[in-house]
Amino acid sequence: MLRKQGQLKSNFTESHQGIDAGAEILHWETWEYPPMERSRRWYVIASIIALAILLYALLTANFVFAVIVLMFAVIQLLRDLRKPARVDVHITTAGIVFGNDFYPYESFRDFSIVYYPPDVKILYVAFTGIMNPTLTIPLEDVNPNDVRESLVPYAFENLNRNREYLTDLVSRLYKL
């Protein structure tokens, strides 16, 4: 099922209920979000750091910070308990389908490909709206030149963005 502003569509190649995802140009399968392999040592160190920060927040009477630290720990734990799903990515003549979501080209500001194998292989899609975060799609084993050639006729390519975002770098390095 595809979602766009509350409307559903069962097959992305057909026009149904007002959503036309267009004809498929390129397809691959990737993780919903990158899975992180963490050792017991990682969990011990993370727990010690979280408890130290929590203790500091409580000793300085910074209760909002303490709640934020607890929320981050709970979210991280819940995320670890659920394995990320494999999702399909379709580049079509009308937009990008990522899992169950459709992103039309009209909503794109630009796209960029950051490719430094073996660790960094990412397609970034920035949107025109202020409230829309940048979409990060792992490329995995797909050829980045094929992705670029598929998107260039429909969207502006940002050649200035040639490094991964700081949040992605920190998440990858610290396995968050």
Per-residue tens of pLDDT for the chain, all 176 residues: 444 433 334 345 444 345 677 788 888 898 887 777 778 888 898 889 999 999 999 999 989 999 998 998 888 888 888 888 888 889 988 888 888 888 888 888 889 898 888 778 888 988 887 788 888 888 888 888 898 998 888 888 888 887 887 777 777 766 66
Confidence at residue 170, expressed as pLDDT on a 0 to 100 scale: 73
Predicted structure pTM score: 0.69
Confidence at residue 17, expressed as pLDDT on a 0 to 100 scale: 45
Confidence at residue 56, expressed as pLDDT on a 0 to 100 scale: 93
Confidence at residue 156, expressed as pLDDT on a 0 to 100 scale: 85
Three-state secondary structure string covering the chain: CEEECCEEECCCCCCECCECCCCEEEEEEEECCCCCCCCHHHHHHHHHHHHHHHHHHHHCCCHHHHHHHHHHHHHHHHHHHCCCCEEEEEEECCEEEECCEEEEHHHEEEEEEEEECCCEEEEEEEECCCCCCCEEEECCCCCHHHHHHHHCCCCCECCCCCCCCHHHHHHHHHCC
